[in-house]
Chains A and B, each alone.
Chain A
Amino acid sequence: MIFETLTSGFGLFFTFDAVAMTAIGCFLGLIIGVLPGLGPLMGIILMTPVAFYLAPVAGMGLLIAIFVGGSCGGAISAILLRIPGTPLAAATLFDGYPMAQKGKSSEAIGLAIAASSLGGLIGGLFLIFLAPALAIVALQFAPPEYFALTLTGLICIAVVSQESTIKGLMVGIVGLMTATIGMDQFSSTYRFTFGFSEMLGGFNIVAMVVGLFAFSEMFMQIEAGGLDDKPQVRIVRASLHAVVETLKRWVNLVRSSVIGTFFGAIPGAGGVISAFTSYAVARGVSRHPELFGTGIEDGVIATESANNACCGGTLIPSLALAVPGDASSAVLMGALILLGFFPGPELFERHVDIVGGIFVAYMFANVFLFILGILFTPVFASVLKLKKKFLIPIIILLSTIGTFALQASQFDLWVMLGFGIVGYGLRKFDYPLAPMVIGAVLGPICESNFRRSLVISGDDYGIFVERPLAATILAINLVLLIWVCIPDPLKQRARRSLGQRFAAR
């Protein structure tokens, strides 16, 4: 079945459009990842309107490649400037920057790219073998199980929110609420439209997400100042020899990739936790743990292979169960839905070719990551010199036209601006934004399965506890919610011991 999935995907991927878009996506992802404050999520959001106009596999190839490239690009600025381009690269600077200080910038960047690419390929293998298997299991799921799973996805994201779990849950609920605006599919009633005809179809998810993340980020960047700062960056080339060095450390590479894939597959965990965890494990099992943090190859390989393998991991529950692993995969899911394909086990049954195309696109994105990363490192390093006063207006314009292009709707632009202001306000008061996106994407799935379950049971709420699988998932959700009740200082102590112990230098 796996062979069949892949071969049917080859036909869709090996077209000029799909291959070109995947390569372009990887290139853009690397650039976006290099620039501090953007990150792969921003890149996916900005390019979703473009993907909408492409064939499904070409569009998804573009976005997935941005995801892959963006997850690696942050390492370049972490190594050269000690500023991670994305939070994913925060652990990479522990050994990447010291390597650069020793005059080994080329080797460090080469290691980061090689480890990311190989880690991503290992994550891809898990994706190809596990996602279909999980989809087969999910075929046994009925509406009660799906409802319980959507709650799990939402709760996990909130629970691991760096800010506050309660705040994460609140924002997640608001995300679910936004999905109720418009026509109710069951009763055909219009809900929360306040007499505006533009709201009959609800808020456009892309407009929401672009406003929430891109616009709020631009406001924050302007407020933070430094718009004229020009970082002093030495332009270097990545070392090809680093590939050999990465392969020599194959045990670390494979172990870190497995850790990354595992955390990627858990909704809410994500690349940051996987990078820190694999670094901690690599240091723990090393014969010379005292060398970690002084600029050794194993440190860079552990973090970069994990955070890129995570990309493959997050796609497993996203594609098989329609439960996003993180905000980036939630937006990818949203893009897939926009293109007319609904993630979940039915995708594997009815659109095997699309699934295969996505798998092949993901694998080739990692191959392009290696080729483009090694070839164009000087270009990515020079992008770091771009001043914010030029970058911010460009991003604002790209966001605006991209959002408008979806439905040629002026209303979408107002939605984008409105959510930009909401996002800015939430961030100022330390509310996480990711749960709102996940709530908005999961909202329709959550409500429809909830109500469908009640229709099946004749409005008997017992259906959620009478079915063993649904009851088990809800019990897990309850345990996670109880975690909310644990005082924050205790939770923060646990997080600090994992991350900040290595950051104190």
Chain B
Amino acid sequence: MSEDRASRKRVVGELLMAAAFLALAGLVFQQTRTEFVAAGAASGGAMQNAAMYPEFLAAGLVGLALLLIVRTLWTGRVTVAPGEAPALSPTDRRRHLIKALVCLAAFVAYLLVLRVVGYHLTTPVLMAVLYLTLGVRNPLASAALGIATSLVMSAFFEFGLNVILPVGRFGIGF
């Protein structure tokens, strides 16, 4: 019974993904029929018609997405890529997913403050959070690794390649 449910979930997921591609194609058509028309770039020959090529692509995408939907509904099955999925218990899977989400949230927060606070203050914090989340249990070790990694990387890019990393409002940089 659970295999049936899993299979149904995969089919639903497949259909949702195909719908997402259809939505993307829909967005292209929406833009070409509104913004491009307003800019006078949706008609004429190949030279003037900036909408022609994207519309061809969107039409192709619609055709393929519909083919995929029809095939999925017809067979009731989903094509799965070859390769072994790791054998994890639901608890472990949930735990690792939470770790991934925490890392993602930390990275988003990092991007939001990077420009304002600067590389040298934000990056060690990000790295420490990543190390801690991924399994370096000792917070002091995580902090030390975070500082070390961000310093080594900045030295390589700033001294080695003359890249200027964000200094932020505090103006901290090499």
Chain A residues proximal to chain B, CB less than 8 Å: 50, 53, 162-164, 166-167, 169-170, 173-174, 176-177, 180, 184, 186-187, 189-192, 218-219, 222-228, 387-390, 392-394, 396-398, 401, 404-405, 408, 410, 413-414, 417, 421, 425, 429-432, 447, 450-452, 454-455, 458-459, 488
Complex CA–CA separation, A425 to B13 (angstroms): 11
Q: Are B96 and A177 in contact (CB under 8 A)?
A: no
Q: Are A173 and B64 in contact (CB under 8 A)?
A: yes
Q: Which of B121-174 contact A (CB under 8 A)?
A: 123, 126-127, 130-131, 134-136, 145, 149-150, 153-154, 157, 161-166
Q: Does B76 contact A (CB under 8 A)?
A: no
Q: Are B149 and A397 in contact (CB under 8 A)?
A: yes
Q: Are A177 and B131 in contact (CB under 8 A)?
A: no
Q: Are B99 and A459 in contact (CB under 8 A)?
A: no
Output the residue of A388, A397, A452 with the most chain B CB within 10 A: A397
Q: Which chain A residues lie closer than 8 Å to B115 at the CB level?
A: 410
* A-B interface contact total, Cβ < 8 Å: 168
Q: Which chain A residues lie closer than 8 Å to B130 at the CB level?
A: 392-393, 396
- Beyond the given A219-B100, A398-B153, A454-B46, please list 18 additional residue pairs across the A-B interface where CB-CB is below 8 A: A50-B161, A162-B81, A164-B68, A173-B61, A174-B61, A180-B53, A186-B46, A187-B50, A192-B54, A225-B95, A390-B131, A393-B131, A396-B103, A408-B163, A410-B114, A413-B111, A417-B107, A455-B47
Q: Does B90 contact A (CB under 8 A)?
A: no
Q: Which chain A residues lie closer than 8 Å to B165 at the CB level?
A: 401, 404
Q: Which chain B residues lie closer than 8 Å to A429 at the CB level?
A: 13-14, 17
Q: Which chain A residues lie closer than 8 Å to B54 at the CB level?
A: 177, 180, 191-192
Complex CA–CA separation, A50 to B156 (angstroms): 10
Chain B residues touching A, majority SS: helix
Complex CA–CA separation, A149 to B22 (angstroms): 27
- A430-B79 contact given A170-B61, A186-B47, A191-B50, CB 8 Å threshold: yes
Q: Which chain A residues lie closer than 8 Å to B80 at the CB level?
A: 430
Q: Are A222 and B45 in contact (CB under 8 A)?
A: no
Q: Which of B39, B92, B96 contacts A189 (CB 8 A)?
A: B39
Q: Are A222 and B14 in contact (CB under 8 A)?
A: no
Q: Which of A390, A392, A401 contacts B153 (CB 8 A)?
A: A401
Query: Smallest CB-CB separation from A496: which chain B residue?
Result: B82
Complex CA–CA separation, A432 to B60 (angstroms): 18
Q: Which chain A residues lie closer than 8 Å to B150 at the CB level?
A: 397
Q: Which chain A residues lie closer than 8 Å to B83 at the CB level?
A: 162
Q: Does B7 contact A (CB under 8 A)?
A: no
Complex CA–CA separation, A218 to B99 (angstroms): 12
- A454-B45 contact given A170-B68, A186-B50, A192-B31, CB 8 Å threshold: yes
